[in-house]
Copies of this chain bind each other. A is one copy, B any other.
Amino acid sequence: MSELLQAFWEYERALMANDLVALDALFAPGADTVRGDAAGILIGHDAISDFRKGRGGAGKREILHVEVRELGDDAALVIAVTAPLTGGRGQQTQLWQRIDSTWLVAAAHVSLPAPAVNPTVWRIVGTPLVAGIESGLLSGETVAVKDLFDIEGLPVGAGIPAYLAESAPATGTAPAVAALLAAGADITGIARTDEFAYSIAGRNSHYGTPPNVAVPGGVPGGSSSGPASAVALGQASIGLGTDTAGSIRVPASYQGLWGLRTTHGAVSADRLLPLAPTFDAVGWLTRTARELRGAAEATLDPARQVAVAPEFVVAPGLTAHAEPDVRAAFDAFRHFDEADVDEVDFGDIDELFLTFRTVQAAEAWRTHGEWITAHPGALADDVAARFEFASTITSRQEAEGRVALAAARIRIAEVLGDRVLLVPSASSIAPSIFADADLIERTRQGTLRLTCIAGLSGRPALSVPLLAVPQPGSPLPAPVGLCLVGPRFGDLALIDLAEQLQRE
């Protein structure tokens, strides 16, 4: 007992000192050691060690009380009530085991007090922030609005403190927001976006990286990162986002959500801060098809929607840009065995992507170049580098890009017709927030190739959480989206088709 308590207090000392060597030594070696907190559970000594290396130390705390339950000579449960110096109470439950006469932690469950609001996910939250009409199709639903849409009386921040500081309160509410309110949904709050929405990672250098509940330690995906994480966390039921190059599909894929990029032009982009208007599309992230259908029905003009036949195609030359594990999960999806899934070929995917990128960059610089020039240092390095590249696009290059875009649209229309393209929503599972730059860049390049077909063609694209890939250090597989790219104005029909795929 006294040896156990000595080990317990040595652990506490090591934790407060962030003594990683001592902490590693006090956790039982091997693949069975478990540690869980609000971010999820990690299994295996090494996964836990890696987490600790990335964390940069635990918050300072006092131990208020300790309960010990001895379980024979070589095991004990130790429960501690903790008092973080920043307030509130926490709890730590540890299973200690005596292994080779040394007491080691074999399992740990850590609870910390919640902040008033998670600042990586939200900018402002109300109860609600804006109430919807009393009774409607979306009554009971709660919306996380990406920080690009006008809400009357509040400024837009676009993920950038310097932009927010100069932003005047909106004089009206964006139609995409108003449609949800008019259907009875409440606006819970304004959620984070990658800076000017020009990223698909979901990191934000100013406000931090929102969590990914499906992949402990993984990036959330962006740029609709805040709405996606809010929905995955259960803090809202509908995330209102935008998707230029994958900004709804990628966070949906990374977090196991439903995510619909609507037909370009089907939802008004009024009072929405643009990135690249030729490609910007509004859409939603939800946990199930039910809320997604509700948001879509509340917003889309039914007269313009079209029926879509269940004719699916796959494009091996496109899918080749996914990582091997994602490709394997995609190929194993049993519907691909069916005879009615044709294979198609878009030709040179790199060329399609470069066409997309050129026009996107030209428009992004036209939209934000003046502000960025006037505010040096306001953006994170990666986003700044992207705009820097955008600033180099010449008029001639843009003109050539628009010619290539018209040709790409014709090519995609010829290849797909009215059929539905199936493709992984992203090239990989959510990379770790500590992944090296090469992995991040490789998966980014792969993902942008997968997503560009919908962007170029203006077709709706629905990411459905139907694929999964094993992930190291977690007992649960990481989600990957199966993306359905359908004919223009087939938004609602895609939801029906996806539900059929889910049931089969």
Q: Given the complex, which residues of B lie within 8 Å of A302, measured CB to CB? A: none
Q: Is A91 within 8 A of B77, CB to CB?
A: no
A487 to B86, alpha carbons, bound, how many Å?
33
CA distance A169 to B118 in the complex (A): 26
* Cβ-defined partner of A93 (8 Å) among B109, B142, B234, B476: B109
Do A89 and B189 contact each other (CB < 8 Å), given the known contacts A234-B113, A235-B116?
Answer: no
Q: Using Cβ atoms and an 8 Å threshold, which residues of chain B touch A79? A: 34, 36, 41, 107, 109
Report the contact-size class of chain A (Cβ under 8 Å from the partner).
35 or more
Query: Contact between A43 and B72 (Cβ–Cβ < 8 Å)?
Result: no
The answer to whether A452 has its CB under 8 Å from any CB of chain B is no
Binds B, one of A225-233, A405-413, A439-447: A225-233
Known: A84-B234, A93-B93. A129 touches B122 (CB 8 A): no
> A261 contacts the other chain (Cβ, under 8 Å)?
no
Interface centre among A142, A230, A235 (most CB of B within 10 A): A235
B107:A38 contact, CB within 8 angstroms? no
Are B123 and A124 in contact, with the CB atoms below 8 A? no
Q: Is A245 an interface residue (CB 8 A)?
A: no
Chain B residues with CB below 8 A from A119, complex form: 127
CB-based nearest B residue for A84: B234
- Are A123 and B126 neighbours in the complex by a CB distance under 8 Å? yes
Using A67-B34, A109-B93, A127-B123 as known contacts, say yes or no to A40 and B116 having CB atoms under 8 A apart: no
Query: A125 interface residue, CB < 8 Å from B?
Result: yes
When C-beta atoms are compared, the residue in chain B nearest to A39 turns out to be: B89
Which of B67, B91, B237 is within 8 Å of A43, CB to CB? Answer: B67
Task: Say yes or no: is A213 at the interface (Cβ < 8 Å to chain B).
Answer: yes
- A95 nearest in chain B by CB position: B77
Does A419 belong to the interface (CB within 8 Å)? Answer: no
- How far, in whole Å, are A415 and B470 apart by their CA atoms in the complex? 76
Confirm or deny: A260 has a beta carbon within 8 angstroms of a beta carbon on chain B. Answer: no
Name A residues whose Cβ lies closer than 8 Å to a Cβ of B: 32, 34, 36-38, 40-41, 43, 64-65, 67, 69, 71-72, 75, 77, 79, 81, 84, 86-89, 91, 93, 95, 97, 106-107, 109, 111, 113-119, 121-127, 129, 142, 144, 153, 169, 188-189, 207, 213, 230-237, 287, 475-476
